[in-house]
């Protein structure tokens, strides 16, 4: 699966972040993304975060990519600062590592994984932090 090929993500214009940094995805500002304050709408930042969490999972479990079914169960979000311009995303597991997750997935054939995603502007100011709870099962 390619997260960037999901129709909604294509519609938004999500892109892989450029190389040379630890960002995963990026989104360039469009007028259609602005809210009543002329800053990036919260839902646009959320969409970038959700796609990033999925991209991060797929990257961490490349060998299982065709055998897993990931579904978002819960999301916690904190918006920190209004944003404008191009925004970028970072992600990582919360309180676990890939080996622990794979052990549980191989044993129980399912696992709940927490993925933290931060959205930053081009000055590296944090605009949003989120934690996605993914339920993953093996087919």
Instruction: Sketch out the chain's domains with CATH numbers.
Output: 3-138 (3.10.129.10)
| H-run or E-run covering 25 | strand 25-27
Which residues lie below 8 Å from residue 98, measured CB to CB, with a gap of 6+? 60, 61
Write down the pTM of the prediction. 0.93
Instruction: Tell me what the mean pLDDT of segment 51-75 comes to.
Output: 88
Higher per-residue confidence, 61 vs 110: 110
% of the chain beyond a pLDDT of 90: 75
Q: Which residue has the tokens 């399912």?
A: 110
Which residues contact residue 65 at a Cβ distance below 8 angstroms, ignoring those fewer than 6 apart? 1, 58
Which residues lie closer than 8 Å to 90 by C-beta, 6 or more apart? 22, 23, 24, 52, 117, 118, 120
E strand or H helix at 20: none
CA dihedral 117, 109, 69, 72 (to 10 degrees): -40
Contact 56, 132 (CB under 8 A): no
Q: In the predicted model, is pLDDT for residue 127 greater than 90?
A: yes
As a whole number, mean pLDDT of residues 107-118 equals 95
Give residue 32's pLDDT band: very low, low, confident or very high (50, 70, 90).
very high
Alpha helices, H only, 75-139: 98-108
Run of H or E including 8: helix 7-12
Res 136: pLDDT: 92
Judge whether 49 and 26 are in contact, CB under 8 Å.
Answer: no
Length of the chain: 139
């Amino acid at each position: 699966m390619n997260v960037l090929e999901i129709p909604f993500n294509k519609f938004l214009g999500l892109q892989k972040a450029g190389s040379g940094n630890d960002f995963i995805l990026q989104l360039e500002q469009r007028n259609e993304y602005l809210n009543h304050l002329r800053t990036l709408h919260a839902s646009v930042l959320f969409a970038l975060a959700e796609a990033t969490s999925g991209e991060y999972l797929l990257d961490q479990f490349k060998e299982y990519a065709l055998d897993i079914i990931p579904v978002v169960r819960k999301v916690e979000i904190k918006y920190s600062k209004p944003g404008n311009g191009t925004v970028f995303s970072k992600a990582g597991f919360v309180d676990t590592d890939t080996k622990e997750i794979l052990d549980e997935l191989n044993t129980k054939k399912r696992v709940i994984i927490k993925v933290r995603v931060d959205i930053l502007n081009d000055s590296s100011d944090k605009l949003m932090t989120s934690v996605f709870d993914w339920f993953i099962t093996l087919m």
